[in-house]
Amino acid sequence: MSGQGRNLTPIIVERHGPKKAPMSSSLAKSVSLALLLSIALPVAVVPALELDTERFMPLEEVQPGMTGVGRSVFQGTTIEEFDAEIISILKNAFPKHDLILARLSGGPIEEAGVIAGMSGSPVYIDGRMIGAVGYSFGLFPKEPIAGITPIEQMLELFEREDRSTHPQLTRHEETWEELLAGFVYSRASEPSHTARSLAETAAIRHPLPSGGGISPVRTPLVLSGFDATAISEMTSLLDRFGFIPIQGGAYSGEEAAEIPLEPGAVLGVQLVGGDASAFAIGTLTYREGDRILAFGHSMFNSGQAAAPITNGYVHLVLKSLYDSYKMGAPVGIVGTLGQDRIPGITGRLGTEPDLIPFDITVASPGLPAPETFHLEIFDDPIFAPQFVRWSLASIVRTTNRGLGNITLHADTEVELRSGQTLHLDNIFSDLTAIDAAGEELGTSIALLMLNPLERAQIARMQTRVAIEETLRTASIERLHLEQTRVHPEEEVALHIWLRPHLERPIPVQTRIAVPADVPDGTYQLIVSDAATAQAIEVLRATWRFIPTEFDQLLHLLEDQDRNDEIILTLILPRPGAVVRGEELPLLPPSVLHVMQPELEAGEGGMTGGKVVFRTDISTDFVITGAKTIPLTVDRSESSVRK
C-alpha cells in the first residue's frame, strides 16, 4: 500500500495483564430499564465455551463494587491504564447478550468521557480480563459510564471463525434487482436505487440512538486524501454505523514491526489505503497466537468480512462535550479482518487481505501534466462502491476548479480475476458532472459485485479522467426528413438541428436506410439523447435488461450509449417477446399465445414493438432532448413519396 510499510509477519509479544486492583467498597447504582431499549440486534446461537478462569473472569463472578483497570492508547503508541468501577450487570441487554456497566476514570477520561476509539480496550479485575469497553450511554452524559462486552461473548467469535468458510460477498437477490432497476431507469429520471441509496438503505437499519439509549462507542474514521464534500457525504451515511469521519493525515515514524500488538494497543481497520486513506480506529482486546479480538462491538455487523487490519498511532485525544475521539493514523497492515459481529471483530495476523487496486489518472487545466493516484479499497460489495465513488469525486474536485461548469470524460477499465474485463466510457457536462461520473461508476461496480449470477472478484481498476473547464451541451431542437414514405433499403436524408449552450443552432446531417426484410407499415423514428433512448427501450422491452447470465450483465453494463451521442431508433409498434434475455420480434399472434405459459413462468416477457433500425451519431456535445417523426415503409410502385 502506497506510503505505508507493510509487515505481514506476526509480532510475537508476551501476553500479560495489568497489576491487580483492590476491591472497592462502593455499591452500584440502579440502572433505568429505558437504557436497555434502544437496540435490538440479532444473534446466532453458538456452543458455550470452556473459559480459562486463570486468564479470564467469568461474568458470573463480576459483582457491583469491584474495581479494575483498563488499557488503551491515548498518545503515540504507549499503552496506558485507566480505572473501572463495576456498577451493575445488564442481563440480556441485547438478545442473549449481557453488558457490564462500569464507571471509568483516569487519564484523559476525566475530561473527555468515554472516548471514541476506546472500543475494545480490555478491562481486568485482579489480573483477569472481564471484557472490553464497547458501549456508551446517552448523548451528553455527565460522567463516563461504559458498557463492557463480556469476554465470553467475544471469545465465541473465534468459534464462529473456525466454522466459517470464505466470505459470501453476494447479498440478497432482491437488493441486486432493485439496484439493477435503478441503474436502468436512472439515466432518464432521478435514480431511486443507486450505489449511494443502497448504502443508505443499509444505514437505516442502524438507527441513531435516542438521548438515553445504549450505543456502541463511536469509531473515528480518520480520512486523508478526501475533500470536505466527500467527508460531509460520508458523515451523513456512516454516522448511523457509529463512525465519526474526521479529516486527518498519514503518519511517518515507527515501522509496523516496532509496535507491539498486545491488549490495549491501537488496532484499526483500513477501508482505503494509498494516496487516499480511510482508517477506523479501535483497540486490540485479546491476542491468541496469530488470532486477535477487538472493538467490543461490530463495525458494520457484516458477519464474515475481509479487510486489512493495521496497528496505528494516536496523535491526540480531541476532547468534546458531544464526541471526544482519538485522532490517529495507520502504521502498517498486520493481518486480515475475519468476523464482524455484535460482540466485536476478529482478525488473523500475518495474512494478506484481498484488496481492489484502483488507479485514477486525471488530466486537468489545474495540473501541469496528467497525474495518477494509486488507491487500494477493501473488498466489500456494499461499501467498496461507495469508496470508489467518493475517491473518484474527491480526487477530481481537488485537481480541478471548485466552482463552475465543467466537461468530464471518464474512461474505466475493470479487470476481473476470472480474466474477463469491463470497459465503461462516458462524458458529462454541467455543474454536477463530477458527482454524476462518480455515481455512475459506483453503481456499475455495485451491480458487478452484488450480482447473484457469478462471483465477481475485481483484480484491478483504472479510471482515466479528462477535464475541460467549459460547458459542452446541446439540445435537439428540430428534425426534417426529406422523404416520409420509402421503399425498403432506400436511403433518405435526415437533418437534425442542435442548439449548443449560448450558441446558434447547428445542423447535423445523416442518411438512413430501412432494412430490406421489414414489413410495410408506419414506423416511429426517434431522435434522442442516450438517457431517453434507454428509457424508451426499457419501456419497450423491459426483460432485455434483466440478465440471466454473467456475460449478459457485463454486456449490459458495457453497452451503454454515451451522453455525447445522438441516438436514432426506428420502431415498428408490433408485439414480440424476450425469452432468457433473447428478443424474438414480430411473432405471429398464434406463436405468442403458445409461448404465454413460458413467459408467465418468469422466463421472459412481452415487448411493445420491434426496433428495426438503431444507430448513433457522435458529437462534440453532451446531448439532451428528443424528437419523433413518422416514417412509412411502402413497397407498392404507386406509393407517393414526400
Copy the grid coordinates of residue 384. 467498496
| Rounded-to-integer distance, Cα 96 and Cα 404, Å | 55
DSSP type of residue 586: S
| Beta-sheet strand order (sheet of 521-528) | 485-486, 626-633, 521-528, 565-572, 610-618
Q: Say whether 153 sits in a helix, a strand or coil.
A: helix
| Rounded-to-integer distance, Cα 208 and Cα 240, Å | 6
| pLDDT of the residue at 179 | 67
Write the CB contacts of 498 (distance below 8 Å, at least 6 apart in sequence).
474, 475, 476, 477, 505, 506, 507, 508, 566, 619, 621, 623
CA distances 12 to 8, 168, 173, Å, are 12, 31, 43
Domains of the chain by start residue, with CATH: 1-30+47-352 (no CATH), 356-468 (3.10.20), 473-633 (no CATH)
CA distances 411 to 257, 272, 465, 562, 601, Å, are 40, 22, 7, 11, 39
| Rounded-to-integer distance, Cα 71 and Cα 18, Å | 8
**pLDDT single digits (tens) 168-185:** 444 445 566 666 766 665
Nearest to 529 by CA among 482, 569, 573: 569
**pLDDT single digits (tens) 182-231:** 666 555 444 444 555 555 555 444 444 445 578 899 999 999 999 999 99
| DSSP H or E segment with residue 136 | strand 128-137
Find residue 491's DSSP bridge partners: 513
| pLDDT of the residue at 305 | 85
Q: What are the backbone angles phi and psi of residue 52, rounded to the nearest 5°?
A: -75, 100
Q: Are strands 122-125 and 67-75 parallel, antiparallel or unpaired?
A: antiparallel
Q: Are strands 406-416 and 458-468 parallel, antiparallel or unpaired?
A: antiparallel
Copy the grid coordinates of residue 364. 486537468
**Residue with more model confidence, 478 or 200:** 478
| Rounded-to-integer distance, Cα 492 and Cα 614, Å | 15
User: Is 26 a residue whose pLDDT tops 80?
Assistant: no
Give the predicted TM-score (pTM) of the model: 0.81
The pLDDT > 90 percentage for the chain reads: 55
Nearest to 455 by CA among 74, 166, 47: 166
Band (601; pLDDT cuts 50, 70, 90): very low
The pLDDT > 70 percentage for the chain reads: 77
Highest mean pLDDT among 8-12, 343-347, 399-403 belongs to 343-347
